[in-house]
Structure 1
């Protein structure tokens, strides 16, 4: 399987786990959403690649006028079930079902790395009003905390990949907004990160990691081996062995302005 085939397999893996994704994936730090929208010229926000609505819900709580767009039917159905008042449309970053200049900001929660920016960049620019904002948000683990650094080491790259810890996230996402080829449509990127956390138990943290694309596409025996290794690690750490704990996280934001 080449890189493009692997990426497609990963991107299409979430639908089968839509209910688990909705239950276990974290929301986004409200301070991160506020910073992402700080320079937007108005309240109209597109949540692009909205999944089950994790970012959509945070945007609603911020007072934004939100429309959600999601390509996977199972994920979209879960979003509509959980947030029935939200306008939620089938579509993707490469073909956005909205009119020109119809939103003031486009936000993507843990989704921009799936976009083909050679096509999605011009599409996003098309639907943005002049001066509008494009922002990608990613929840990353705070590997400066020793037990989290150990978890990353034990879990392997399938469960905790290059966008899942702060230092690697900064490098991997630095120019992710840039369309490949053609005239640039966005200004210089800004990155910032905001404290966040998620209440978990050892079982629910394993369930969260099981929704990662790299884990979802594993052969079943390999998947169970990897998850068992993570369970044993959590059972052996005093921070995570008994009851609930807070998983230390940050919401990282890449923000750019439409020219």
Structure 2
């Protein structure tokens, strides 16, 4: 990357931090097992969460007993995290230059974030701060587009993507296999985000970085399209709806 923060992420997440905090999904309960069994995270483990955002995954790390250092380049996102989890340490910094000492953390975790800064240099920076044998964990919630209405919603959203990086493009895989790390191990989970359609469908759409970065009039047009989709979709009727996700998790270990 030529700049520490992708401009779409910087603008979109700063504008949309509030709706991101209220409308983005959490993570499946199995993520706690992944942290324990694959990353070796236990009470007292020091974990750098890079791209921590508003703390959607930080909650899972805290519940695992980790001592979390939440790092994000967008201060507005970390303001939301501090409001929800006031005991967590936060640092405004880019992934390319972590303000952490060499070999100072037991794990580095990126939750629905690594695609924004994936590069050889960033992975090398993660290795620098990891202790020998420490774990790197990458996890994403992705929409389950095998469901018809989710595929239709994604088509509405994707028209505005431009050159914004996304996990589904798989460009994030380019740094792997990475020098000084074991091969990536993949774990698949599923998650159902339940709530009012206005939150889990409309709000989720508006929290997407490249949608949040659009002019207000264009955002309103997108919201209108999404509400029209909700109105004609029987599965989205009622006070509570279910938005299905596929959660993909990857891990590897620092080796000498």
Residue 126 (structure 1) aligns with: 128
SS in 1 for 2:81: helix
Q: In the aligned structure 2, how far is the partner of 1:71 from the partner of 1:240?
A: 35
Cα displacement string for residues 4-53 of structure 1 (whole angstroms, at most 9, x for unaligned residues): 68x82212020122122111111222313432452435522111111111
SS in 2 for 1:239: helix
1:198 to 193, 208, 212: 193
What is the CA-CA distance between 1:162 and the residue it aligns to? 7.7
Residue 245 (structure 1) aligns with: 241
Cα pair distance change 1:69/1:211, threshold 3 Å: same
SS in 2 for 1:94: coil
Q: In the aligned structure 2, how far is the partner of 1:147 from the partner of 1:91?
A: 37
Cα displacement string for residues 118-139 of structure 1 (whole angstroms, at most 9, x for unaligned residues): 3322211011011111111111
Residue 10 (structure 2) aligns with: 12
Cα displacement string for residues 210-236 of structure 1 (whole angstroms, at most 9, x for unaligned residues): 010121122332222222111101111
1:188 to 175, 183, 189: 183
Residue 140 (structure 1) aligns with: 142
Residue 71 (structure 2) aligns with: 69
What is the number of residues matched between the two proteins? 248
Cα pair distance change 1:200/1:176, threshold 3 Å: farther
Structure 1: gaps (5+ residues):
none
| TM-score normalised by the chain length of structure 1 | 0.85
Q: In the aligned structure 1, how far is the partner of 2:174 from the partner of 2:32?
A: 20
SS in 2 for 1:34: helix
